[in-house]
Amino acid sequence: MNKEIIRYRLKFIKTDKMRYIGHLDLLKYFQRAVKRAEIPISFSQGFNPHQQMSFSMPLPLGMSGLSESVDIRLEHAVDCEELKERLNRQMSSGMEITDVRKLGENEDSGAALLAAADYTVTLDRKIEDLEEKLTETALDAEWLTEKTGKKNKTRTVDIKPLVYELSSQNDITVHAKIATGSNANLKIDLLMKYLYDKMGLEFDYLKLKVTRTELYKREENGEFTPL
Amino acid sequence: MLDEILLRVEKPARYIGNEINMVVKDKCDINFAFCFPDVYEVGMSHLGLQILYYFLNRRSDTYCQRVFAPWIDMEAQMRSHNIPLYALETGDPIKNFDFVGFTLQYEMCYTNIINMLDLAGIPVYARDRGEDDPIVIGGGPCAYNPEPLADFFDIFYIGEGEVYYDEFLDMYKQHKKSGGSRHDFLKKAMSIPCMYVPEFYDVTYNADGTLASFKPNCPEAPPKIKKAIVKDMDSVFYPDKQLVPLIEVVHDRVTLEVFRGCIRGCRFCQAGYIYRPVREKNAQTLIDCSRSLVANSGHEEISLSSLSTSDYRQFKELANRLLELYSKDKINISLPSLRIDAFSLELMQRVQEVRKSSLTFAPEAGTQRLRNVINKGLTEEDILNGSALAFSGGRNRVKLYFMCGLPTETDEDLMGIVDLANKIVDKYHEIPKEERPRPISVVASTACFVPKPFTPFQWSAQATVSEFMRKTKLVKTSMTKKQVKYTYHEPETSSMEAVLARGDRRICDVIFRAWQLGAKFDGWTEHFKYELWLKAFDETGLSKDFYACRERSYDEILPWDHISIGVSKKFFINEAEKAKAGEVTPNCRAECGMCGAKAFGCGVCYE
């Protein structure tokens, strides 16, 4: 008899002090929280069994995430609300499970589905007429920038097709929806550096406050919907 | 400001607190900064910190917060942005705390203490502190010779923290309410038998540099300060949870303290004397403890902590029950400091089903003669038989720990190290070829012997740096078998360690000067700068060799003579003489050595 595969997708917030732990430490953090909460998690087979847990997209150290996502597999079904509550009792300040949803039998993993992400970037200074400058930039046919790849080789890439939406607010905040995931991926720092360079401004990424606000999959009709 | 800095340093999670089981409190009467003078990952792995943190925080009137030595990159950022040293729980500067307590685990942390006080904006020398400054208190194993740090500390607490901290903090609260001065409080504190306040003692020196006198300078100061120890390990406080770090630290695991002390009496080992007598916890106490610790931490490993786990009388029972309880939950049991015998090998087999770790022996010396001198009960037969057993179980890697420069050591003893390593290789080759698919690997390493206070070798001269170099070179060139790898410690650090371990008050200025010249994280090979220390000695006019390489006489006043660990000087002299004669002393369970620790009225002395 085939065992039913029971999976859940957890959405969570990682912000404040918790921004300073990296992806591998976050994994460990979740594994321990699951243990303390006595969640009936499934383990992988093999010599070194580990919890069946997969994050949709690592969040870079220092960045806040308001709608991050992780899939877990359990040995038996647990009520979604209960799962959320039990895990939230184990979360430190800066971490919160915001939603738990049971996945359908044939649903793909978050990592496989992921197609785009929203970012909100608070700049290190006000830039006069920021919105106009962005609109002007949008008229360029190509956004060519240098990208450092493996073995420290740089190559020129056009990032414009990877930017789906770009807007600003009060000359100090930038919103961007950009390609994210295994198919096409743009890093937010690369986009920000391109924009700063374009405007002839000095760029120090560490001075920007970056928040990833949503992760999306792409529907058949081309529309983006949250994971 | 802190936010931006944190993104510019390595491992920012070292500096944010917010760990699982961190204590959060509102305003408290007493604010205690528990300082560990090394980097976060080392400090967070320390059991004493975990115990005292929850012990102090169980008081509703006290908030104990943690502080670690910021790593070089963070220190630079803090200094350039004028951020004073703060505690992790609240981020409050520790300058405003009532107490700043340092745990003294290792001599090579001393410059970090100076650095942390300076970063905090607290006057480094105790004499420069005023009514508004915190009271700086030291404890832990290195406090047993507090003299090299005496100028920097207001108080030293000698012994185990669980015993007198309540009384001490109650006393402080009362004193604070009545508005008494700092000076008065320090005097009052001396009514607690384990409290040493250096400023109330005067030292004079002879022309040859040895101590001429060491005397209290006020009636409240007792001539002897007595170590405090827990008498009943089953009823003493033990936390039901642990701080679980957000980043990987040296030891990420639940720690069960099985017993304190050691019955063995190895003559080089300070821990074996200062923690006397051996006091065990009952296996049931430990099992109960493990349940809540595992449930509250989510850790995947439980480690048994003691100086010699095989000597625990309920070892088999405890190990079996832990395995029974936790193997189904995929929680590993880690068993450091085991003596290798049939049971421990079988146990290791059951504990580590997959990866066969290497086998570790600590013979400490290469010949039986020298092992008798240091009273290390391990024989060549034990090692070869243990190895043979392990080889037949499929293991093929052996680690051997030795010391070089031990008292009475000759080149013959050093060659014994080579012999022993070779004999283990030969032992492996006794197995029929078809039953040993992989080649054997033996790693022998030597550390440099450092004579420590409160050991029979406290009067011994340490080898000079150049002697150490000659010795290790001799061993290195004699190791000819390709299956044996030899590693050794650099002698310069051990030489400084010997000075700091047995120094007197004049060493304070050397430490301060070395820090001024840039010494910090001296315990880290990549940061230890020997030349700075030599310069500091040069400038203060003191001789390093006077402290490290001089044989002391039994009638000399030792800088730590005013501290009592409950083991008599007479016993140590007797042990030192037996060592010279190559005579062994049986372990505490085999025969009482009349060391004096029976007076504590507990533990192994009454089994």
CATH code of the domain in which B195 resides: 3.40.50.280
Q: Inter-chain contact B18–A94, Cβ cutoff 8 Å?
A: yes
Compute the distance between CA of residue B116 and CA of residue B124 in angstroms, rounded to an integer: 9
Q: Which of the residue ranges A12-16, A143-147, B491-495, B519-523 would you say has the lowest mean pLDDT?
A: A143-147
Find the mean pLDDT for residues B478-504.
96
Give yes or no for residue A152 having a pLDDT over 90: no
Residues A69 and A120 in one domain: no
**One domain, residues A49 and A133:** no
**What is the average per-residue pLDDT within B475-498?**
95
Residues A132 and A103 in one domain: no
Name the least confident of A95-109, B150-164, B314-328, B347-361. B347-361
pLDDT tens figures, A19-64: 999 999 999 999 999 999 999 999 998 777 889 999 999 999 999 9
Dihedral, CA of residue A78, residue A84, residue A85 and residue A90, to nearest 10: 110
| Same domain membership, residue B142 and residue B51 | yes
* Of the residues B187, B209, B226, the one at which a domain ends: B226
| More reliable by pLDDT, B437 or B445 | B445
Last residue of a domain, one of A65, A85, A107: A107
CA of A167 to nearest chain B CA: how many angstroms apart? 25
**Of A83, A107, A131, which residue is a domain's last?**
A107
pLDDT of A114 above 60: yes
Q: Do A35 and B298 touch (CB under 8 A)?
A: yes
| pLDDT higher than threshold 60 for residue A92 | yes
Q: Do the chains contact at B246 and A206, CB–CB below 8 Å?
A: no
Q: Give the integer Cα–Cα distance in Å for B453 and B503.
A: 10
Query: Residue A154's pLDDT is what?
Result: 87
Give the total number of structural domains in chain B. 2
**Same domain for B177 and B95:** yes
pLDDT per position as a tens digit, B186-229:
999 999 999 999 999 999 999 999 999 999 999 999 999 999 99
**Is A1 among the domain residues?**
no
B181 and B283 inside one domain: no
CB-CB neighbors (< 8 A) of B300 in chain A: 35
Has residue A129 been placed in a domain?
Answer: yes
**How far apart are alpha carbons A184 and A218 in whole angstroms?**
12
Report the percentage of chain B scoring pLDDT > 70. Answer: 99
Q: Looking at the predicted structure, is the pLDDT value of residue B354 above 50?
A: no
Q: What is the CATH number of the domain that holds B577?
A: 3.30.750.210
Nearest CA in chain B to A29: B246
Q: What CATH number does residue A61 fall under?
A: 3.30.70.580
- State the pLDDT at residue A2: 61
**Does the pLDDT value for residue A149 go beyond 90?**
no
- Looking at residue B355, its pLDDT comes to 52
A199 & A181 share domain:
yes
Cβ of A25 and B295 within 8 Å? no
Q: Whose structure tokens read 């205690």?
A: B32
- CA pair distance B143, B102, nearest whole angstrom: 10
B186 and B277 belong to one structural domain: no
Residues B71, B148 share a domain: yes
Task: For B310-373, list the strands marked E by DSSP.
Answer: 332-334, 359-364
A135 and A206 share one domain: yes
**Helices and strands in chain B: count of H runs, count of E runs:** 20, 19
User: Does residue A122 sit in the same domain as residue A189?
Assistant: yes
Q: Do B134 and B278 belong together in one domain?
A: no
Which of A15, A20, A29, A89 is the best mutation test for B, with the most CBs of B within 10 A? A20
What is the predicted ipTM? 0.91
Is the same domain home to B152 and B279?
A: no
Q: Considering the domain boundaries, does residue A168 fall inside one?
A: yes
Q: What does the pLDDT look like over B382-441, one tens digit per residue?
A: 889 888 888 888 888 899 999 999 999 999 999 999 999 999 999 999 988 888 878 999
Question: Is there a single domain that holds both residue A47 and residue A132?
Answer: no
Which of B226, B244, B274 is the C-terminal boundary of a domain?
B226
- What's at A15, amino acid-wise? T
What is the C-alpha to C-alpha distance for residues B300 and B332, in angstroms, rounded to an integer? 6
Do A12 and A80 sit in the same domain of this protein? yes
Are residues B203 and B325 located together in one domain of the fold?
A: no
Q: Which residue has the tokens 């030595």?
A: B69
Which range of residues forms the domain containing residue A186? 116-221
Among the three residues A86, A107, A128, which one is the final residue of a domain in this structure? A107
pLDDT given for residue A48 in this prediction: 78
- Number of A–B residue contacts, CB under 8 Å: 57
Q: Residue type for A143, please?
A: W
pLDDT interval class at B359 (50, 70, 90): confident
Residue A166 within a domain: yes
Average of per-residue pLDDT values in chain B:
95
Closest-CA distance of chain B to residue A140, Å: 33
Across the beta sheet with B397-404, the strand order is B359-364, B397-404, B441-448, B484-488
A130 shares a domain with A96: no
Res. B182: pLDDT tops 80:
yes
Closest chain A CA to residue B253 = A32
Query: Looking at the 3D structure of chain A, how many domains does it have?
Result: 2
Tell which wins on pLDDT, B351 or B519: B519
pTM for the whole structure: 0.95
User: Per-residue pLDDT for B78 more than 60?
Assistant: yes
Contact call for residues B515 and B116 (beta carbons, < 8 A): no
Write out the residues of chain B at the interface with chain A, using a CB-CB cutoff of 8 A. Answer: 4, 6-8, 12-13, 15-20, 22, 244, 246-248, 295-300, 330, 354
Peptide bond into B407 cis (omega under 30): no
Rounded to an integer, the average pLDDT of B373-380 is 92
Question: What residue numbers bound the domain in which B61 lies?
Answer: 2-226
B149, B279: one domain: no
Judgement on whether residues A125 and A76 belong to the same structural domain of the protein: no
Give residue B13's pLDDT.
96
Contact between B280 and B295 under an 8 Å Cβ cutoff? The reply is no
In a domain, A52, yes or no: yes
Chain A residues lying within 8 Å of B299, measured CB to CB: 32
Same domain, B297 and B154: no
Taking the C-alpha atoms of residue B279 and residue A121, their distance in angstroms, rounded to an integer, is: 59
Residues B150 and B258 in one domain: no
- Is A48 close to B246, i.e. CB distance below 8 A? no
Best probe of the B interface among A17, A19, A89, A96, by most B CBs < 10 A, is: A17
Select the residue from A18, A21, A48 to test the B interface by mutation, using most B Cβ atoms within 10 A.
A21
Q: What is the domain-level CATH number for residue A126?
A: 3.30.70
Instruction: Indicate whether A64 and A125 sit together in one domain.
Output: no
- A182-209: average pLDDT: 94
Contacts of A22 in chain B (CB under 8 A): 247
Residue A175 in any domain: the answer is yes
B197 shares a domain with B101 = yes
pLDDT of residue B495: 97
The answer to whether residues A151 and A102 belong to one domain is no
Minimal-distance CA residue of chain B relative to A46: B354
Task: Name the residue in chain B with its Cα closest to that of A21.
Answer: B13
